[in-house]
Amino acid sequence: MLFGNKTTRIVIIGTGFVGSSYAFSLINQNVADEMVLIDLNKEKAEGDAMDLNHGLPFGSPMKIWAGDYSDCKDADIVVITAGANQKPGETRLDLIEKNVKIFKGIVGDVMNHEFRGIFIVATNPVDILSYATWKFSGLPMERVIGSGTILDTARFRFLLSRYFDIDVRNIHGYIMGEHGDTELPVWSQTRIGSEIIDRYMANFKPDAKKEDLDKIFINVRDAAYDIIERKGATHYAIAMGLKRLTQAILRNEHSILTVSTLLRGEYGLDDLYIGVPAIVSRNGVESVIEIDLNDEEKKKLHYSAEVLKKAMSPIFKMTN
């Protein structure tokens, strides 16, 4: 797939569960021309590249290889999935200290090879590590994007679709805030088709209960804990979310996605990365969409931001 006369290249740093699942999703979607895999375990990256190449006769044409940081120079997108994983009983914020140190080295190595593309950050805590990547890289904020609450929003829409027995593509709603324990559902703007959810419940599902909706959000918020307890990691759905974000960038879609991006006054917040609806295009984040939150939602978003701000001290120490 070519954009003008340019070959498109994606570099994936970290070939663990998320990185390898994301790589697999890319070969099935005709998203880019080239994929480079980088990992501290060079043999793992080489094995993944071999395995993925063997599937190309069934997928999309693509050149795939295990590379190094020099391959970032000509990359359109560098996706970072490397870092310490969340263990059973850990919150995402528990990972800050070790992953900020890892990211300082990774981002420095990428930028030392004249990278001029877009960073996508998937490693947790994603909001804080997106901010760290922006600081360490020196790139414009629109070219550093975290996966934010893309996955949480997908979980939200899926569980609502199952509850209402409506195609998930006709469920419209957002999870905003930290990708973590302080995230919030924007019930005031959630729609089934074109109907606000309260009106839809009254007109088409009178047996629906607010308590059921509250349980749905709790299941969304705690989904990672439930999955990690059962299988040790979450990776398929976030890989698909990363593929969707990559697609929106390379195809210049101007799609609205709940990514983690820098706020500079939007929603009354400043100087932090947090999950909000934003327009994503070939330039990265074009603009933040300020949807109309009610007072309770504004309060919860500001609380989420306060928690992230307090947790960001390791970055300030390493960048000042």
Q: Which fold does the domain 150-319 belong to in CATH? A: L-2-Hydroxyisocaproate Dehydrogenase; Chain A, domain 2 (3.90.110)
Question: DSSP of 184-207, one letter per residue?
Answer: EE-GGG-EETTEEHHHHHHHH-TT
User: How does pLDDT run across 258-309, given as a tens digit for each residue?
Assistant: 999 999 999 999 999 999 999 999 999 999 999 999 999 999 999 999 999 9
DSSP single-letter state for residue 180 = S
Average pLDDT over residues 34-60: 96
- The H-or-E segment that residue 261 falls in is strand 255-264
The answer to whether the CB of 66 falls within 8 A of the CB of 44 is no
Domain ranges of the chain: 2-146, 150-319
Catalytic-role residue among 54, 113, 172, 179: 179
Q: Which residues contact 67 (CB under 8 A, 6 or more apart)?
A: 11, 36, 37, 38, 45
- The rounded Cα 67 to chain-centroid distance in angstroms is 24
Nearest to residue 292, comparing CAs of 280, 283, 301?
A: 301
The pLDDT confidence band at residue 155, using thresholds 50, 70 and 90, is very high
* Cα separation, 209 vs 196, whole angstroms: 15
CATH T-level fold of 2-146: Rossmann fold (3.40.50)
| Contact call for residues 146 and 127 (beta carbons, < 8 A) | yes
For the segment 23-33, the average pLDDT, to the nearest whole number, is 93
Report pLDDT for 4: 47
Confidence of residue 2 (pLDDT cuts 50, 70, 90): very low
Cβ(267)–Cβ(290) under 8 Å?
Answer: yes
Give pTM, 2 decimals. Answer: 0.93
The neighbour count for residue 282, using CB atoms within 10 Å, is 15
Q: Is 179 a catalytic residue?
A: yes
